Amino acid sequence: MLESRGMRILVTGASGFVGSALCRELSARGHEVRAAVRRLTPPGADPRGLQQVLVQDVGAQLDWRPLLDGVAAVVHLAAIAHRGAREDEIRRVNLDATVRLAQSAGGLVPRFVFMSSVKVHGEDSGDGAYRETDATRPEDAYGRSKLDAERALADLSAKSGMELSMIRPPLVYGPEVRANFLRLLKWVDSGLPLPFAGTQNRRSLVYVGNLVDAVARCVERPRGLGPLLVSDAETVSTAELVSRAAHALGCSARLVRVPTAMLRLAGAITGRGDEIRRLTGNLAVDISKACGVLAWQPPFSLDRGLAETARWFRAARA
């Protein structure tokens, strides 16, 4: 039983892939959403109960207090994730802006939900699966900025009493997805042979509908939950993901067997070593804490998530 209904919620990064889906979810659950967006959508295109506020640069020296007026919870999604960004710019947005927002919210807003990343733990979970209590060893600027933001938020929460939950998702997919997952869909749809038949790794993913459902439950809980790993209910190898994505797209998966060592060598030579490592390595998460404290099971199966994503992909290409 969820304890909070009909709240006013500030969502940053609301015009992004996850943010737009979260605003729809929160509005459907009866909440009033104040959406901090980088671009305004036309009147009538927004869910009921959504108020757009233009914030083009969350990393600027903003006065957040007017946006926090009457707000019961903040969901902070806005971040820089792309690899081409400089580390100082990543930290300006992902760390400094997060701290300023939380400082403004402390004492005014009871609840703060922060979108972190599984990358705070690292890039390879080995033979097991990451848990929230595992060591944090981020390997890139994005992961380091998220971990430092988590630590700063925990300190602010302890001082102000603001309830804090931090979500650590793996790769997010779904309609409107971009970057690596969209590239994978294009590869599968092209019919080109993909060299992953022998790749027996373990990867966790999270469908955007599962992620926003978990975030909404954090918002609606009357206490902070700390860090939570969230994903779909099953892990898959890259070979299985390609096969199931092909099925969703209505095409055949053309998988060929290439040794992992050879793939990684080719990646190093071509400057795509990180991408190949992600496609061949293990990155699994244990969601038992989230399931327990949120009384939650991912509402969408992997196959349903892939089907919804494939439907959007086909419509976008039509």
Q: Assign 279 a pLDDT band (cuts: 50, 70, 90).
A: confident
The fold of 8-173+205-232+285-299 is Rossmann fold (3.40.50)
For residue 143, what is the enclosing H or E element? Answer: helix 141-160
Q: Answer whether 0.95 is exceeded by the pTM.
A: no
- Does residue 36 or residue 46 have the better pLDDT? 36
Could you report the per-residue pLDDT of 156-168, keeping only the tens digit for each? Answer: 999 999 999 999 9
Domain ranges of the chain: 8-173+205-232+285-299
Evaluate whether 90 touches 80 at the Cβ level (below 8 Å).
Answer: yes
- HEC per residue, 178-211: CHHHHHHHHHHHHCCCECCCCCCCCECEEEHHHH
Residue 207's nearest CA partner among 98, 303, 65, 63 is: 303
Give the pair of three-digit tokens for residue 304: 């349903």
Q: Is the pLDDT of residue 2 over 50?
A: no
Q: Is the pLDDT of residue 262 over 70?
A: yes
Could you report the per-residue pLDDT of 192-225, keeping only the tens digit for each? Answer: 899 999 899 999 999 999 999 999 999 998 788 9
For residue 224, the tally of other CB atoms under 10 A from its CB is 19
* Catalytic residue (one of 130, 142, 173, 207): 142
Q: Is the pLDDT of residue 78 over 80?
A: yes
CA–CA distance, 17 with 210 (Å, rounded to integer): 13
User: What is the torsion angle, in degrees rounded to the nearest 10, for the CA atoms of residue 250, residue 283, residue 204 and residue 139?
Assistant: -100
Active site residue 207: no
Percent of the chain with pLDDT over 70: 96
Evaluate whether 40 touches 77 at the Cβ level (below 8 Å).
Answer: no
User: Mean of the per-residue pLDDT values for the chain?
Assistant: 92
Beta bridge partners of 227: 166
Q: At 70, phi and psi to the nearest 5?
A: 75, 10
Residue 115's nearest CA partner among 206, 181, 8 is: 206
> What is the full DSSP assignment across 211-244?
HHHHHHHHHHSSS--EEEE---S--B-HHHHHHH
pLDDT at 49: 65
DSSP 95: I
For residue 140, the tally of other CB atoms under 10 A from its CB is 14
Evaluate whether 83 touches 18 at the Cβ level (below 8 Å).
Answer: no
Q: Any idea which of 53-57, 117-121, 229-233 has the lowest mean pLDDT?
A: 53-57
